[in-house]
């Protein structure tokens, strides 16, 4: 796997099979899931900045529309935390 810098966008070449998606979990307002990146990929992303949808899609994360990278868990920055508003 490798990384290239192309016109202000990171392009990661990596199999999406290396990315783990949790099941969804819920509270009153949101549904949540976490996405675990392989550690070699995680080393290439910011540990202090939340990613836009364009950014997380560019590293190979595949989810339906509406998910927001909402928090960074500093002890495990290779685990991305996502949520979206419940629709029901």
| Domains in the chain: boundaries | 2-85
Asked: is 2-85 a CATH 3.30.170.10 domain? The reply is yes
On whether the CB atoms of residues 68 and 82 are closer than 8 A, the answer is yes
Residue 22 has pLDDT above 70, yes or no: yes
Q: What is the DSSP letter of 75?
A: T
- The span from the CA of 4 to the CA of 59, in Å, is 11
pLDDT tens figures, 46-66: 999 999 999 999 999 999 999
- The span from the CA of 73 to the CA of 70, in Å, is 10
pLDDT confidence of residue 88: 75
pLDDT confidence of residue 11: 44
69-83 mean pLDDT? 96
18-44 mean pLDDT? 95
The residue that leads in pLDDT, 87 or 17, is: 87
């Amino acid at each position: 796997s490798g990384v290239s810098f192309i016109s202000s966008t990171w392009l990661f070449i990596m199999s999406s099979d290396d990315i783990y998606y949790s099941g969804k979990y819920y509270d009153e307002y949101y549904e949540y899931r976490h996405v675990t990146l392989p550690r070699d990929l995680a080393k290439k992303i910011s540990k202090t900045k939340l990613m836009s949808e364009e950014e997380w899609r560019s590293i190979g994360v595949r989810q339906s529309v509406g998910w927001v990278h909402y928090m960074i868990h500093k002890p495990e920055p290779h685990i991305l935390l996502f949520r979206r508003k419940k629709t029901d």
